Amino acid sequence: MHIDLADLDFWRKTPKERGEAFASLRQLERPVFFPEKKVPFLRSGSGFYALVRHADVVEVSRNATVFSSEPAASNPEPPSWVKQVFGESMVNMDDPRHARLRRIVTRSFSPKMLAGLQSDIDTACTGIVDDVLRDGPQDFVTQVAARLPIHVICDMMDIPQAWRAKIHQHVDVSTAYTGVRTSLPRTIQLAGQNMLALLALQRMVIKLGQERAADPKGDLVSLLVTANPDGEKLSDRELGSFFALLLVAGNETARNTMAHGIKLLTDNPAQRELLMSDFDKHIGNAIEEMVRHVSPIMQFRRTLTQDYELRGLELKKGDKVVLFYGSANRDETVFPDPDTFDITRETKPHVGFGGPGPHFCLGANLARQEMRAMFRELLTRMPDIRSVGEPELLVSNFDNSVRSQAFTF
């Protein structure tokens, strides 16, 4: 089997074909190097080593001093002007800059803050299911999975209702840009749309941040633009970058897992029956197994700051490695029979929220909270809900996104 993870054609293959390719790579003694191809509007470097085993992804994730997120964690790397236009995202930073931003935003995701959101999340889930029962089943993504995460984020930040439809539209445009493009004209079109969408999101929240700095309220924006106990707060530009990250990355984790999750429960009726036999007992592990199985974000890149030996491979300063979370989550040495969906599996070691270390997903517990509430509402009020046919997937090397999924109840 010819395998080239740097070739965008690889990501047009079916999930089954890609899974078989990664399984082959996991059997090799050392990580494989893939020369990079030229991609329009993106930087092409010399190439990268593919880390496909669970142990390698965990080791690198824990060692952020050697394996840097700078200058960019995405692969291929965006051009340098992107930072000048949009500011710098936390995912592309190392300490101490990353630690400073994380200190400021972490208080927004404290257990106390998340507990205070539970009533609003439950109410949102009720409203979403009310709408589905009224309108009938059409597309699970647009009617359910895509609505809840953005609704919760907008509520946390007290975004005006009049802005929300436009925000949802901008997020969808940004997600589409992570897909594999079929032609140069299409790439140019998506790049322009993506840039305008991100700029619009940033302008919205910067305007809101300036208003809340002058007149703070009890929302997330006010919390971020007023000083924490150490006197730290987000600048306008930092707030804009964080808002875009929260809406795109934070939204995609819960959205993708829920959309794939309804398909997994449909295709595995015995697991669904087990879940419904004692929802509170099984839902926590069921969500972890869904995230492991789905791996909503498929990869991130790191750049070496010094020479390092990894599994007998002599890596040099400046070399790049790509962490393939989806492959690590199917590592047979960690997850026996990894392609099987099993909600009784011990899934704590999975890297579906990123590997352990400073870049572990900040919103992981919020995503879990949203999914627990949504599945409870769906399975309680629509006990016969199930997916119909195969999902339409976004062809992407980054985002394991479901574009649409027919369903019935």
32 pLDDT above the threshold of 80:
yes
In 10 A of CB 115, how many CB atoms? 10
Longest dimension (CA), the chain: 61
Residue 209 is given by DSSP the state: H
Q: Which two tokens stand for residue 51?
A: 């880390």
SS3 184: helix
CA nearest to 28, candidates 403, 337, 343, 313: 313
pLDDT in tens, 260-293: 999 999 999 999 999 999 999 999 999 999 999 9
Measured CA to CA, the distance from residue 360 to residue 78 in angstroms comes to 22
β-pairing, 320-324 with 299-304? antiparallel
pLDDT at 175: 61
Residue 390, pLDDT score: 95
Percent of the chain with pLDDT over 90: 54
Q: What is the pLDDT of residue 77?
A: 67
pLDDT, position 288: 96
Q: How confident is the model at residue 177 (pLDDT cuts 50, 70, 90)?
A: low
CA distance 404 to 385: 16
Q: Is 274 helix (H, G, I), strand (E, B) or coil?
A: helix
Mean pLDDT of 53-57: 98
The rounded distance, in Å, linking the Cα atoms of 294 and 253 is 10
pLDDT per residue as tens digits for the range 311-353: 999 999 999 999 999 999 999 999 999 999 999 998 779 999 9
What is the pairing mode between strands 48-51 and 320-324? parallel
Confidence check: pLDDT of 204 > 90 = no
> Does the residue 348 lie in any domain?
yes
The domain that holds 106 is classified in CATH as: 1.10.630.10
pTM for the whole structure: 0.88
Mean pLDDT check: name the lowest of 347-356, 373-382, 384-393.
347-356
- Does residue 352 belong to any structural domain of this protein? yes
What lies within 8 Å, CB to CB, of 382 at 6+ separation is 129, 132, 133, 409
Does residue 85 surpass a pLDDT of 60? no
N-terminal to C-terminal alpha carbon distance within the chain:
41
Rg (Cα) of the chain, in Å, rounded? 21
Q: Evaluate if residue 83 carries a pLDDT over 80.
A: no
Cα distance between residue 318 and residue 302, in whole Å: 10
Instruction: Determine contact, residues 91/359, Cβ cutoff 8 Å.
Output: yes
Alpha carbon distances (Å) from 368 to 245, 361, 364: 18, 12, 6
184 vs 8: CA distance, rounded Å: 13
Q: Side by side, which strands form the sheet with 299-304?
A: 32-34, 48-51, 320-324, 299-304, 67-68
What six digits make up the tokens of 88? 């710098």
* 106 falls within a domain: yes
Contact in structure between 49 and 322 (CB atoms under 8 Å): yes
- Give the model's pLDDT for residue 94: 87
Average pLDDT, the chain: 87
* Position 284 in a domain: yes
* Total count of domains within the chain: 1
Q: Which residue range is the domain that position 63 belongs to?
A: 8-408
Q: At what angle do helices 269-277 and 279-294 cross, to 10 degrees?
A: 140
pLDDT at 8: 83
Looking at per-residue pLDDT, the higher value among 23 and 228 belongs to 23
Q: Is the peptide bond before 185 cis (omega within 30 degrees of 0)?
A: no
**Cα–Cα dist 394/401, whole Å:** 5
Q: Kindly report the CA angle at 56 between 51 and 58, in degrees rounded to 5?
A: 120
> Does a structural domain hold residue 171?
yes
Highest mean pLDDT among 38-42, 226-230, 342-346: 342-346
Does the pLDDT at position 160 exceed 90? no
Q: Tell me the CA distances in angstroms from 337 to 42, 215, 284, 296, one per residue in order.
A: 37, 55, 20, 20
Which has the higher per-residue pLDDT, 247 or 19?
A: 19
Residue 26: the pLDDT is 97
Confidence at 61, pLDDT banded by 50, 70, 90: very high
Q: Is residue 297 part of a domain?
A: yes
pLDDT of residue 59: 97
- Is 3 a domain residue? no
Mind giving me the DSSP string for 268-301? -HHHHHHHHHSHHHHHHHHHHHHHHHH-SB-EEE
Query: Do the domain assignments include residue 2?
Result: no
In this predicted structure, what is the pLDDT of residue 402?
A: 93
